[in-house]
Structure 1
């Protein structure tokens, strides 16, 4: 199925500044970019590169004081992979691919060592596999209120666990933290999300099960089969849509994701089906 995704971002630079963006859709695997366009106003030179370790696409822009406007738009095709949850197993640490091992460790926003005892007590007796990660998402969805403005850029998964409130990035951080505490590699994913209301950059997470990454969204606010990946990393610190070095005032941000074909008469499942990217 194909999706039209994109964003418009504006800033008023108060001094010469360098801005690093991670807003372009990832390439490869089961996500194919059919067309894309990036517009920068005023016209400025920019560096565009792909991180070797993650596949994230970074755009670095250096601009003088004044207004800057970016518009990114793309047509992206997604190939969904559906599997029986009961057949998807966890992988012992001794057999995990080496590239997944960093996603077992605590990180800035995912202090899995601090919540290990709770994770073991709450989820340790559940049969290992896809269903256990689903139960983690069920617990987060039931126990944590989705509340705009309840967190900020300093909020960790431990904070969210304590306050029992957060937004999508906090739900993802808590899911990652519980998974890592149980020995399941997990990573943060930013994306354009079809059916998300209101539209914004969305945060979910992936867990390594069987022989690939599987996508999970504890918020249950968007369709898993309609998520176009932008970036992935240990947590939100690796996938910020904008990192700014300088003094700026932020303007309005507009994000969109629209289905272009296929049967969209019924919402796609948000919990039993997953998309993977190898």
Structure 2
């Protein structure tokens, strides 16, 4: 499956500002970048760094005035499928040490505060992919997807109380519930095929039977059509742009389109792994 992805970010820079950009598709074993181009206007010197999990960061320093970021890429996806019923949970004693940090509470995913609720609702369910799917189903059925209902300070605990949020809030709540049950979970940003309106989309991944599998409690995009950008403990680690200075966003466009036929399938019918 091949996709074209693109994003354009426009800013008014009011004083010298450092931008940390995270818009490039991740280079993963099951996600191949066929071609790509990143253009900054005005042209600026950049620094690059790749983090564990494939996150690719770009740093640029912009002076006052208009500043634009344009990214285009062609990406081939070859996610691996598995029977959800065959995927169990890995005991903490057997987890790779690099995965263990994704069991811990984080700024937006207070798994410690939500542990009692998570155990009461999901603790008795059969462990594995099916339990994580049940968590996603509960979030989808009990939390309203409502634009403008949250902000950059909204946490998983807030979302549970308010019962409303957007994709990042749904992902944070799913991550918190999973970590409370000793299932490693991490936040993932993506270009998402079929998402309307087009935007950067937040999902999450769980570590099951030695691999990371994708989950989207919003049910608004096809799992097999997610081009992953970055991962982290929560949204703070995977923002498309982090600014140190004074700049105001004046425009944003995001798009993704298939280059070949993509199977349209209910996401709960199979397990989709990407990393």
TM range (shorter): over 0.9
Matched, 1:21 2:21: yes
Cα distance in 1 for partners of 2:203, 2:28 equals 19
CA RMSD for the aligned pairs? 1.0
**Residues 29-68 of structure 1 aligned to structure 2 (within 5 Å):** 29-51=29-51, 53-68=52-67
**Residues 1-278 of structure 1 aligned to structure 2 (within 5 Å):** 1-51=1-51, 53-262=52-261, 264=262, 267-278=264-275
> Normalized against structure 1, the TM-score is what?
0.97
Secondary structure of the equivalent of 1:16? strand
Question: Which aligned segments of 4 or more residues in structure 1 are displaced greater than 4 angstroms?
Answer: none
Secondary structure of the equivalent of 1:117? helix
Q: State whether residues 82 and 272 of structure 2, in contact with CA within 8 Å, keep that contact through their aligned partners in structure 1.
A: no
How far 1:276 moved relative to its partner? 1.8
**What are structure 2's unaligned runs of at least 5 residues?**
none
Q: Give the count of matched residue pairs.
A: 275
Cα distance in 2 for partners of 1:17, 1:4 equals 30
> Normalized against structure 2, the TM-score is what?
0.98
Question: Which has the larger strand fraction?
Answer: 2
Cα distance in 1 for partners of 2:19, 2:240 equals 10
Q: State whether residues 34 and 76 of structure 1, in contact with CA within 8 Å, keep that contact through their aligned partners in structure 2.
A: yes
For residues 64-88 of structure 1, give each alpha carbon's deviation from its aligned partner in whole angstroms, at most 9, with x where no partner exists: 1000111000000000211111111
Cα distance in 2 for partners of 1:30, 1:18 equals 32
How far 1:42 moved relative to its partner? 1.0
How far 1:54 moved relative to its partner? 3.4
Secondary structure of the equivalent of 1:25? coil
